[in-house]
Structure 1
């Protein structure tokens, strides 16, 4: 059985997008530049943190899949949502 981190990595590799079950956390792939190769880049957004103004409304740039996994694990707010 794959771990949650492995499932997140697979979702990003397959579709380029991840949305948490409650819809509050999203991660999506975005292109840096037309001729620039720098691997996968992502943009993370958490509606709870955006509303609290602790995260930019446009989202947080994430350098790679590992950063995306850390972002998602950091923004699990449980019953506080």
Structure 2
């Protein structure tokens, strides 16, 4: 009895290609994003400024991502809606 190999991937490749054509990377987002790289205390203060100026309840403000780089520096991205409609 012969063991079948993996199924052909042509259909999947075509679907991925069509999706990428319809949804290009870096497409329009409703959110405003800004990335910072600051010392840990400065990063905390900057995040507080954003939450004060753009309250979470109205703007859906959040720290979208963060990571520690070069010792005690924090690289982070803040995200919010453009207006509080």
Normalised to the residue count of structure 1, the TM-score between the two structures is 0.27
Q: Which has the higher contact order (CA 8 A, sep 6+)?
A: 2
The TM-score normalised by the length of structure 2 is 0.26
